[in-house]
Structure 1
Amino acid sequence: MATIFETGDSDVLDFPGQTMTVGDTFEGISTINDTNDAVFVSLVEGQSYTVTLAGLPANSTAFSLFYSNFTTHAGDVSEEGKGQDTGELIKDLVISEDGYSFSFTAPNTGNFAFGQERDNWDDGDVTYQLTVEDFTPTATTDGDDRLWGSDIAEDLDLGLGHDWFAGGDGNDVIVGNTGNDRIYGNQGNDTLRGGGDNDHLNGGDGDDILNGGSGRDKLRGGDGEDRLRGHTGNDHMQGGNGNDSLDGGDNNDRVHGGNGNDTVNGDNGNDKLYGNQGDDLLSGGLGKDVMMGGDGADTLDGGAGRDVLTGGSGADVFVFGTDMQKDFIMDFEDGVDMLDFSAHGLTDITDLRIVQSGDNARLFIDAGNFVTIRDTDIADITADDLIFA
């Protein structure tokens, strides 16, 4: 909460311990009645800001707005409220209407005092007041930014550099762009994009959309029904709570569905997919994938490549599409789990060639494509275990 200090002839509105960040707006924050009044805010070097003024005189009036880097109530803008205000000029203004806005870029990081200076000032002639109505950052820098969101919805490109951003309660759209960024959506239904390099994205509460972009990214959906995509790079993804949809994208990813009934897709690459809790759908896609359903009634489809499938607890279904090759099932439970060959047009168990291979059962669709079931006797494989077309 801002604090107003009564300082003799001047009023100073201070924001102790707060940093202006993109999307923040301080509305109606200060009335500047003479040259001894000022507004103190914390700014970030290279950040662009927009100021909106209101409460103007009846006739056009000339002002000079300045800033000066104060860390305390010191200098010419002081608690005594005496002396002419000094500081680096922001802009000479001739203001004749409400809602006048101007933008500027902070020259360095620190606490700044904003006020106005008018030639030939005479306290007896004060017939107007100048109010800083809105004060809003409008862009990021190309350096390593550290930004906090507000309760409104942010729409922000973090630009170059290794950036850190934490959103507020709004539905934010944040793009990391280049650099190793850390982006936290927190509350709200957020859209977070990492861009290039190795990013950390955390959706927080709400139904979020996360895209890691290129690089080795870490994505965590948090609470809510989230959609996560790793894109390119060896990514690590965690859905969290809720019924989430996760896609590893290219390269070799590690993807965890978390709690809820999740859809987990490895896409391209040699992926490790985990359903965790809930009734999950796991699809390996291309590559040699390792898939573990976890708790619940899961469906596992290895896709193309030589995949290793573990259903876990629950009544699981192992699906073998037309692009399968030589898959391996670690834990088939007779009378509980099912084998789905419907994509091959098979109508009866006699369409399969089933042979014993040591302690394992091996089911051939043709010479090049078969399924090996660990620690299973072929006598235990019956038509009741199979799903046909």
Structure 2
Amino acid sequence: MNDPVPATVPDYDADLPAHVERALAEFLSGAGESIGSREPTFAPATSALREFVLGGGKRLRPTFAWWAWRGAGGDPAGDDAPGVIQVAASLELIQACALIHDDVLDSSDSRRGSPTVHVAFTRRHADEGWLGSPESFGLAAAVLIGDLALAWADDMFADAPLPSSTLRAARPAWRAMRTEVLAGQYLDVRTQATGDATVEAAMRVARLKTAAYTVQRPLHLGAALAGADTGLVERLLAFGGDLGVAFQLRDDLLGVFGDPSVTGKPAGDDLREGKRTLLVALGLHHANERGKVTEHDTIASAIGNADLGTSDVERVRAALDDLGAVEEVERRIDELTESALASLRLASLDEPAATQLTALAAKATKRAY
């Protein structure tokens, strides 16, 4: 009688994005079929969410969570590894919720080169000749699909094949992250509504909306799944806080100077949407300090101007550059990245996690425009 062939252990470290993608595809397929069998008219909504989640993205949050788990002693060949992959992948559903709702809040027409969810459902309403306002229907559909993503994120987390004690240890990070991302979104729209263009306001948004839920809490989540102590979690939070802000500052620069083929959004969209970023705040601050009225007015008039053209964006770019705002943001990115890496070294993570997180820090903050 032949001996049984031992099961092949997946190489999660080497092909992490593919395993995250597979976990998402399996969960979304099952969740969509379950509700679709009971209410077929909901199928376009679940299909839209599935296509949105699987249609692209850097998978940064699952990656940070995985390497924190590995660095805190997680065994990729152990029984917990598939469950950790599922928990890490569920972060992409929170991200989907945030992005779909962000596009509504910012009145964005496109993402990743495709119509945003609310625009796609507006068109669906118009094409079908339904009653009422196509725009109202599109907005309502996007809000509900974003809500569905958040609900399914909880389901995916809770159903992960992990001991209840392990999931319980990760719950504080999970709860904090969901609240912080919503608080950050509110702070962002409030800052736009009040017109607060100060450096302090821009940094508060960057820390709460991006740093906390993009880097800090995924790291916290992964470390908690591995049973990390408070000291390690605090060092990872310090690393994630500085790196997350640096990542946001890089994104702010891309929002004005980036290539649309790389960013997936039209150049200058952050300006059209009225984002009070650190880049803009520094530009206005330096213009006021130096009495540069023309440069100040060029920047100020661009913020929230939905009709901003290519030549207008070019003038804003020139003003920001001449005022030294770009150089200062670049300097802050470098300082925050160095501070983050210092905290990472103090964490003394297991390899290859330390090396991988160092590489992620470089990738997330490098110049790309």
Higher strand share goes to which structure?
Answer: 1
Q: Structure 2 length normalisation: TM-score?
A: 0.21
Larger radius of gyration: 1
Q: Structure 1 length normalisation: TM-score?
A: 0.20
Which structure carries more relative contact order (alpha carbon 8 Å, separation 6+)?
A: 2
Higher helix share goes to which structure?
Answer: 2
